[in-house]
A = this chain, B = another copy of it.
Amino acid sequence: MITSYKIINDPVHGFINIPKGIVSDIVAHPYFQRLRDIKQLGLTNLVYPGATHSRLSHALGAMHLMRDAVAVLRSKGIEITQAEEEAASAAMLLHDIGHGPFSHALENNIIVGVSHEEISLELMKKIDKDSGGALAMAVSIFEGRYQKHFLHQLVSGQLDVDRLDYLKRDSFFSGVAEGMIGLERIIKMLSVKDNRLVVELKGIYSIEKFLISRRLMYWQVYLHKTVVAAEQLLISILRRARYLAVNGHSLAGSPAICYFLVRDFTPQTFGREEVLEMFTRLDDTDVMSAIKQWQFSEDPTLSLLCRMLTERRLPKLKLLNSPIENPEYEKGCKTIRDHFKNEISEEELSYFICTGEVINRGYDSAEGEIEILSENGEVNDVYNISDMLSAKAFSQITKKYFLCTANFN
């Protein structure tokens, strides 16, 4: 299996080179091509119409940045072999391969108990097996077992090329210019110390800006009120569909979506050939096509919820710094019940109102810290060095609470 050298046009990075070999083989693989029909930001285009970019374009971009980062590190005397570069590039291409359509909503309902990282790993292992072990090193880097730990950190860490690409890409396509980061400079400042990825001290300002931009993208895009509201609606739709399916109702939809609507999984059972096979058939079109058909379902709840999504009559979302209090929730329930003239069961009610929380993972120190390399060779966590950023900001995750109520206007 040999495919040829290619150049792909990318609006974010310009020309992306696809080297012949493992990298071009992965790009041609059906598992990878499937990412073409999975939007990177799911329903976000309901708020930011430009944000229709695919997980495929993000995976290509992240692979491109990996190769840039490798070139920078090499120029600083850090040895990275050709095979290691290929493996790290492959890991980058495949790091999100386990994402299903509308991941967030799906993981809540349909594919419970198995994270997309676990699925990514399973799929990588399968491709590895099929290709006679070509991905062994890539898997090892992905899992963090490879001895050059900094390669794993580039794939998945506080300052990985995954984030560098998606922040810039999501900013570019959504039109939220404030999320734009100085990629070129951050990558130029990367180095390695004691096998760990570090940033040279003079890159500190760019890192500060990266952290602020990331936080900004969270509140302005990823956790935008209306985006979260749309996701809650989708969660309600899928939950209702599953409820009906499990209870023996026949629902329209592709075999793949119907397969997942009636089954439960554990990480163990998910790894089975059949499950993985069905999973890799699933993309955005299965979900959206089903929802369009469910608009005409006999179940009035499912039908109503689906119309609300296709016609963009999205729920109202109230965002607070403290948990929603019961009286407020009850007041919301009453409005819903009134709308249905009290002809609504508690089960049905739960699709039209709910509470929940969103978390801004702008910086989650559980993932390790961004480490800064001083000129004297010392390494420090960024929050010890920066006199601008609050240490508090690094130590805590910002959580907000919401009340989400269907919009019947």
Contact = CB atoms under 8 A, between A and B. Distances in A.
A335 interface: no
Contacts of A252: 254
B398 A387 contact: yes
A285 B292 contact: yes
B206 A209 contact: no
A393 interface: yes
A17 B174 CA distance: 16
B57 A50 contact: yes
Contact of A9 (B48, B213, B311): B48
Interface in A185-244: 185, 188, 205-206, 208-209, 211-213, 215-216, 219-220
Contact of A30 (B15, B216, B311): B311
Contacts of A293: 254-255
Contacts of A15: 184, 188
Given A33-B312, A220-B205, A289-B254, A52 B49 contact: no
The quantity of this chain's copies bound in the complex is 4
A332 to B, nearest CB: 19
Contacts of A12: 50, 175
B205 A209 contact: no
Interface in A39-59: 39, 45-46, 48-50, 52-54, 56-57
A304 B134 CA distance: 28
Q: Tell me which of A52, A184, A188 has the highest count of chain B C-beta atoms within 10 A of its own C-beta.
A: A52
A172 interface: yes
Nearest to A290: B289
User: Most chain-B Cβ atoms within 10 A of its Cβ — which of A60, A184, A216?
Assistant: A216
A139 to B, nearest CB: 23
Contact of A286 (B14, B45, B181, B289): B289
Interface string A52-72: 111011001000000000000
Nearest to A10: B175
B205 A216 contact: yes
A177 B12 CA distance: 11
Interface string A4-38: 00001111101100000000000010100110110
23 contacts: A9-B175, A9-B176, A11-B50, A14-B175, A14-B184, A33-B311, A36-B46, A37-B288, A49-B60, A52-B57, A177-B182, A205-B220, A208-B215, A208-B216, A209-B216, A252-B254, A256-B292, A281-B292, A283-B292, A386-B390, A387-B398, A388-B393, A389-B390
Interface of A: 8-12, 14-15, 28, 30, 33-34, 36-37, 39, 45-46, 48-50, 52-54, 56-57, 60, 172-178, 180-182, 184-185, 188, 205-206, 208-209, 211-213, 215-216, 219-220, 252, 254-256, 281, 283-286, 288-289, 292-293, 296, 310-312, 362, 386-393, 396, 398
Given A9-B175, A11-B173, A50-B53, 11 more contacts: A10-B50, A12-B50, A14-B184, A33-B312, A34-B310, A36-B49, A52-B53, A209-B209, A254-B293, A362-B388, A387-B398
